[in-house]
Every structure is written in C-alpha cells, then in structure tokens.
Amino acid sequence: MLTNQLCDNHVLNSRWFSEFEVMKLMIYYHFKYKRLSLILSVVVNHRISMRHKHLVLKNHTMNLPSSCRQDFF
C-alpha cells in the first residue's frame, strides 16, 4: 500500500523530482552534518542568483523550479 502511494507521488512530482531530491539531501545533511549543509545551501543560492542575473526584469520567484524551495528558504 505504501509502495503504491510512493509511486503515485513520484508520478505526480516527476516534473520537480530532481529539485525535490536536492531538498531531501539538504534536509538530511542539515541534521547529520551541519557544515555540509552550509556548503549545499551556498551552492543552491548561487544557482538562484545566477538565474536572477540573467532574468533581471522578470519576477525571480517565477523562475524557481518548485514550490518546495519557497517553503524551506
């Protein structure tokens, strides 16, 4: 039963699957290794800022890959 639910969730979230994996890793490492979490967050923030520089005239929240990122940052 749980396996089917996970599969359904994967199908529903397949569009943002890679970003969701990044968020899961960041949360996991945040509790396990705080220093590694800091490095990961810097990398992700750098990616966001690079996108923002290319799309200065647009609203940068529209360029975020998933709603998950808004919840955690």
pLDDT at 44 over 70: yes
Q: What is the pLDDT of residues 8-19, one digit of tens each?
A: 555 555 555 577
Q: pLDDT value at position 19?
A: 73
Token pair of 17 as six digits:
């699957």
Token pair of 67 as six digits:
């709603």
pTM: 0.23
- Nearest residue to 67 via CA among 31, 30, 15, 25: 15
pLDDT at 2 over 60: no
pLDDT at 39 over 50: yes
- Nearest residue to 50 via CA among 59, 60, 62: 60
Q: pLDDT value at position 68?
A: 46
AA identity, residue 33 = Y
Q: Which long-range contacts (CB under 8 A, 24 or more apart) does 31-40 make?
A: none
